[in-house]
A and B are shown apart, each in its own frame.
Chain A
Amino acid sequence: MLEVTGITQIFGGVTALDTVSFSIAKGDITGVIGPNGAGKTTLFNIITGIYHQTAGTVTLEGKNITGLPPEKLARLAMVRTFQNIELFGGMTVLENVMVGMHTKSSSGLLACALKMPWSISEERRIRAGAMKWLEFTGILDLADHTAGSLPFGKGRLLEIARALAVEPRIMLMDEPAAGLNSQETLGLSRLIKQIRDLGITVVLVEHDMELVMDICDRIVVLNLGKKLAEGTPREIQESPEVIAAYLGDDD
């Protein structure tokens, strides 16, 4: 589904990522873990077209997507969420998700401003689609609230609903459990499994090990910009290198 080959990222004199390669299988939930500063978020920013890497390629379903901007990637059915949820704070919850339908609609500036018949019917379709995703994530009752006024946990759900509206085939989530309480984290792990059941490949960066071990099919471990290990949750838990990186070496 997604292949990352030889990704290297150098910021000034600092090597944030050093020839990282791995591949992600269709329909899996893959976790990317590692201590702080391992380069996880940098890797996400490269895959999703926000940073341009120093070297290496990213391939999505056999297509080279290296260096494509985020808006092009959305049209190739790749979407992401952010660690500090990036909501459209001045808009309502429903409107936020309606923006997610942008690639699934096409009325231009003039058609919209002149209320052409096709743009009106498209607007109706956008609204219905957005409602469906609010229902899926369980925040339909908040549809008319201002997104900026939501509590953090609900904001996270909204960001996921908005990303789902793009109808992605692959979804990257940057620390989806960060800032959530244990109850909300439980709900999140159920939601991520439901997203996988829709046929969407999920990749997540996460610090909550319980969550990662519970829902991930495969795990990639990064440390100091290098790939340390890759395998099933069980293999990772037993890997001596991973234990050394997390708990420190005896030396």
Chain B
Amino acid sequence: MKRDLLLFTAFSLFIMVAPQIFAGGYLMNVLVFVGINTMLAIALNLLLGYAGQISLGHAGFFGLGAYLSGILTTTYSLNPWLAMPIAACVVGSLAYLIGLPVLKLKGHYLAMATLGLGIIIYIVFNETVDLTGGPSGLSGIPNLHVAGITFDSDVKNYYLIWGVTLAVMLFSLNLAGSRVGRALRAVHDSEVAAQVLGVDARGLKVQIFALSAIISSLAGSLYAHTMTFISPASFGFNFSIELLTMVVIGGLGSIYGSFLGAALLTLLPEILRGANDYDIIIYGALLMVMVMFMPGGLVRGVPALFRKVFSRKAEGGHA
């Protein structure tokens, strides 16, 4: 309990001072994306890593949050602080209603159904041109501002996004360690045994699906207000798969793992930019190697690697 709090405090401090170390125009912008992706990866991890239910349509919820915020603040000139919770409520309710029938499906069938959902949402973004601007996107979305501060620079956005991300992390860590978190993991390991012990598996799955969608929508709204421009391309099937990769590479069922996965997959393309045309190959190869040698994800694999290296050194020292 105490150790968890210490770890979270240390992590928050690291996040808060990071801009002082890594300050520099473009990198700050990337770190803002790391924050947004961390939120999304945590949202998906609650569903996939804890409850064991897959979703290949999470980019859709992310996009719905972004578009609802964007449309409400531009076409209807609503205050962004009001638009965000409205978007989250709408997306949460929608996910709840869709989750009721869809989460009766298991395994591959659930993957197919959520895939379909993501694609439908994507098509709606593209085709409802009057509302969303279609493929050319929606521009002129206002920045958030509070008490005279407008969040219009990368540094300001960094603190805004990461403030919310840290809150989402703490929220999820608390949830994971509670009776609800245990019930989710129980449903994951043996649904029938969880039910026999009184866990309403179906109700719980739908609840967590809705929560996951709400967090994704929140990330979407923040994305829209920091970028001020959105287009359907950011919310397609590819991005759903990228989120899934972040969760798996980082570590299923670990909140910090989601951060590691999001950070790696967001930073890697930037780091590999120097490798010109080979970047995609290196990127793919790295992911394959990591999945092969760290099946538990970075959050478990990296400490294990360190232990291995250090124990070998210790042995070498004695010899």
Contacts and interface: CB of A to CB of B under 8 A. Distances in A.
A233 interface: no
Interface stretch (A9-17, A84-92, A193-201): A84-92
Contact of B175 (A48, A80, A82, A109): A109
B174 A113 contact: yes
A71 B200 CA distance: 6
Contacts of A218: none
B246 interface: no
A153 interface: no
A91 B182 contact: yes
Contacts of A21: none
A71 B195 contact: yes
A98 B61 CA distance: 33
A105 B179 contact: yes
A63 interface: no
Contacts of A248: none
Interface string B226-268: 0000000000000000000000000001000000000000000
A104 to B, nearest CB: 9
Contacts of A108: 180
Interface in B128-187: 171-172, 174-175, 178-183, 185-186
A108 B203 CA distance: 12
B32 interface: no
Contact of B178 (A101, A113, A162): A113
Contact of A87 (B175, B180, B189): B189
Chain B's interface: helix, strand, loop or mixed, by majority?
helix
Contacts of A112: 174-175, 178-181
Interface stretch (A23-31, A115-123, A134-142, A180-188): A115-123
A109 B207 contact: yes
Interface residues of B, number: 29
A219 to B, nearest CB: 24
Contact of B198 (A74, A109, A123): A74
A101 B194 CA distance: 11
Contacts of B193: 82, 86-88
A234 interface: no
A165 B198 CA distance: 11
A99 B199 contact: yes
A80 B196 CA distance: 7
Chain B CB within 10 A, most for which of A89, A90, A162: A90
Contacts of A50: 192
A115 B167 CA distance: 13
B168 to A, nearest CB: 10
Contacts of B180: 107-109, 112-113
B179 A86 contact: no
B190 interface: yes
A176 interface: no
A99 B178 contact: no
A79 B199 CA distance: 12
B63 to A, nearest CB: 25
Contacts of A98: 179, 182
Contacts of A79: 196-197
A126 B174 contact: no
B197 A102 contact: yes
A37 interface: no
A163 interface: yes
25 contacts: A50-B192, A71-B198, A71-B201, A74-B195, A79-B196, A79-B197, A86-B190, A87-B193, A90-B185, A90-B188, A90-B253, A91-B182, A91-B185, A98-B182, A99-B194, A99-B199, A102-B199, A109-B211, A112-B174, A112-B178, A112-B181, A113-B171, A113-B174, A162-B197, A163-B197
Interface of B: 171-172, 174-175, 178-183, 185-186, 188-190, 192-201, 207-208, 211, 253
Interface of A: 48, 50, 69-71, 73-75, 79-80, 82, 86-91, 95, 98-103, 105, 107-109, 112-115, 119, 122-123, 126, 162-163, 165-166
User: Which 3 pairs across A and B sit closest by C-beta, in order of nearness?
Assistant: A74-B198, A112-B178, A103-B198
